[in-house]
Structures are given as structure tokens and as C-alpha cells.
Amino acid sequence: MKDLAVSILAGDRNAIANALSIVENDVDLGNIILDALFPHTGKAHIIGITGPPGTGKSMLVNHLAGLYRHPAEGKYPCSVGIIAIDPSSPFTGGAILGDRVRMRDLAGDNGVFIRSMASRGSLGGLAQKTYAAAQVMDAAGFDIIIIETVGAGQSEVNIIQLAQTVIVVEAPGLGDDIQVIKAGILEIADIIVVNKADLDGADNTERYLKTMLDLANKSYDHEMISSAVEPAKNPPVSPWIPPVKKTIALTGDGMEVLIQIIKEHSDYLKSSGEWNTRQRIALSRHLLESIKEELYDRWQGNISKKIWDSMVDQVCDRKISPRSAILELLKKSR
């Protein structure tokens, strides 16, 4: 395992691929690798991209990756890791790159690593697995890590909250706006993109989202941040107001502007102290989730099927209440 960690730190692609499979499929082995890598994480800028299916997220990710690799003159290229979680379009390897855009450049590019994660059947542990995959890429030295996920519910909110910058992608005429807002996605957006701006209704969608944003109560964010850490020592910086930007991922229109806004957001996070705050929140959440899992595993490992069945029988027969059964089961598992 030590050798594997050393190879990952050196950016060896086979080692990275190997480690990503292990952390996705074998918790115990994965934990050994993650422990070894942990001191080398915390450097990447993690960008979460979410929104309803079909809004053009994958295409947008392609363009962003392309621009990070081939930036405007005078800027340094960034290496990019991509984690795609999308049950509706399970692409593997280069398939994400599509064929229309400039992604053929990326296919043989060592500065890009693309991983798609299975989401079926494992929504519970998916946030943990995504976190682990991001840690591997972070340790491997990728400057930017993009996580694409479908914004369908709370599990996606959990996944995306490990990002420093959250981009919510909408498109005109999908009729999904209300659903997205219900899921609490808009509240965690740092940047909102109205993609497919070439289609009718883009202006309406933009106006609608701006109104929703004005209405959205941002106190949720502030509460979480202020309870998580001491106030930032840096001089006060005016709060970030999530911009709404129109793009056409099909042609690449608006992508340079989007990259610029992402950079402004990361500058804002750093100058306001929020970069560290968000890291702290993400790590606390990860610790809590891990403790829940660990406690559950230990408890389950100590309870025989016989005891379990007998408790369920007693509850079904109304002999004891569920609460008493829980207390009894906890006692018996010691």
C-alpha cells in the first residue's frame, strides 16, 4: 500500500486508477490508502456541478476542462480531475468527452483524469465514496477537481457540499426549477448557470432564477459558517452574491466568463477566510458520517441474527415498543 501511495503522489495514472477502484469497492483497503494520502490533500480547488439531467452539465464540464488545459495566453494550464456521478448517462473513460467539442485534445492528455462513479444502489455511501475519490485526485496533485452530479435530492446536496465552489446548471423550459429549489440546491449555489442560452426562454429562466435567489434566505449558510469556526481574522469582505450567467455549452459561448467567475469565487473564498471555513465544514461532515457508519458496523457485527429476529418478533407482537427494542439491542451488542 505504501508503494501505491508513493506512486499516486508521483501522479502515476495506473496507481490513481487503481486507488480509485479500491476506495470505491473496498472500504477497509481504501481506508489504508486514504490514511496514507491524507497529509497530502487539501490543495485542490473542488468544483461541484449539479442540476437537472439534460441541462448540459457534462458538455459544460468538457469545455471547462478544455479551457483549464488550454487557457488564454499568459495563464498557466491547470491539471483537472473529473468525477462524474450520473445514473442517466453512465459514460466510461473517454465517452464523457463527447465528440463535438474540443475534447479530443483531452483524451490523451496526462493533465486530465476522468472517473465515472456508479451511483446505483449505493446512494447512502455515495457521498463518502465521492469524498474518497476526490481525496485521491487531490493527493495526486490535480489543481482542479470537478464533480458532476445530478441535482435530484438530499444525497446530491451532501455530495456537492464537499466542493469549494458549487455551480448549479439550469436550462430553459425544463420545468424542473421548482423541484431543484425544493431540494435545497439553489441555496447552496455559488454560481448559477443558465445553459442552452441559444434556446427560447433563456431570458425567462434567468429572470426566474434571479428572483428565486433574491427570495432565498441565505441565513442558512451564515449560521452554519458562524457556528463552525471563529470569525475570520482577515478584514471583512463583502458577501458573495451568486451570479446568474448564461452559457451555450454546445458552442462554448460564455465559458471564458464562467472560468473567470470561478476564479473570482476562489479569490473571494481565500480573502474572506471562507476557504478554510468550508474545508472545516466538509471535514466535520465527513467525520460525522464516518462515525455513524463505524458505530453502525460495530453494532451490527455484535448482533446475531437470532437476537435480531427475536426482537423484531417481539415488536411485531406488540410485546415491547420499538424504543425498548432499540435499547435492548444496543445493550446486547456490547
Chain contacts with ligand GDP (rule: CB under 6 A): 53-59, 89, 195-196, 198-199, 248-250
CB of 245 to ligand GDP, least distance (A): 12
Yes or no: say if 129 and 117 are a contact pair by the CB < 8 Å rule. Answer: yes
Could you tell me which stretch among 56-64, 108-116, 162-170, 317-325 binds Mg ion (CB under 5 A)?
56-64
Least Å from the CB of residue 88 to Mg ion: 7
Angstrom distance (rounded) from CA 228 to CA 123: 26
Nearer to ligand GDP, 155 or 195 (CB): 195
Between 126 and 311, name the residue whose CB sits nearer to ligand GDP. Answer: 126
183 binds, among ligand GDP, Mg ion, none (CB under 5 to 8 A by kind): none
What's the closest the beta carbon of residue 322 comes to Mg ion, in angstroms?
Answer: 41
**Whole-Å CA distances, 176 to 53, 181, 328:** 10, 9, 46
Tell whether the torsion through CA atoms of 141, 74, 268 and 170 is positive or negative.
negative
Q: Please report how close the Cβ of residue 79 comes to Mg ion at its closest, in angstroms.
A: 21
58 contributes a contact to Mg ion by CB under 5 A: yes
Residue 59, binding choice from Mg ion, ligand GDP, none, Cβ under 5 to 8 Å by partner class: ligand GDP
The site map against Mg ion for 84-103 (x = CB under 5 A) is: --x-----------------
CB of 250 to Mg ion, least distance (A): 14
From the list ligand GDP, Mg ion, none, partner contacted by residue 199 (C-beta under 5 to 8 A by kind): ligand GDP
Secondary structure (H, E, C), 37-74: HHHHCCCCEEEEEEECCCCCHHHHHHHHHHHHHCCCCC
Q: Which is nearer to Mg ion, 7 or 89 (CB)?
A: 89
Q: Toward ligand GDP, which CB reaches closer, 36 or 146?
A: 146
| Percentages (nearest 5) of helix, strand, coil residues in the chain | 55, 10, 35
Q: Residues near 297 by Cβ (< 8 Å), separated by ≥ 6?
A: none
How far, in Å, CA of 261 to CA of 193, rounded?
A: 11
Nearest residue (beta carbon) to ligand GDP: 56
| Closer of 53 and 94 to ligand GDP (Cβ) | 53
Nearest one of 137, 181, 148 to 37, comparing CA atoms: 137
Distance CA 108, CA 18 (A): 19
Least distance from ligand GDP to the Cβ atom of residue 253, Å: 8
Q: How far is the CB of 141 from ligand GDP (least distance, A)?
A: 27
Q: Long-range CB contacts (< 8 A, 24+ apart) of 214-219?
A: 216/186, 216/187, 217/187, 218/187
Among Mg ion, ligand GDP, none, what does residue 54 contact (CB within 5–8 Å per kind)? ligand GDP
- Residue 69 C-alpha from the chain's centroid: 21
Q: CB of residue 156 vs Mg ion: minimum separation in angstroms?
A: 13
**Contacting Mg ion within 155-174 (CB under 5 A):** none
Q: Taking the CB of residue 290, how many other CB atoms lie within 10 A of it? A: 13
How many of the chain's residues bind Mg ion (CB under 5 A)? 3
- Residue among 100, 83, 71 nearest 258 (CA): 71
- Cβ proximity to ligand GDP: between 103 and 145 the closer is 103
Of 29, 306, 313, 45, the residue nearest 167 (C-alpha): 45
Note whether 82 and 50 are within 8 A (CB).
no
Closer CB to Mg ion, 58 or 164, in the complex = 58
- The CB-nearest residue to Mg ion is 58
| Chain residues in the site for Mg ion (CB under 5 A) | 57-58, 86
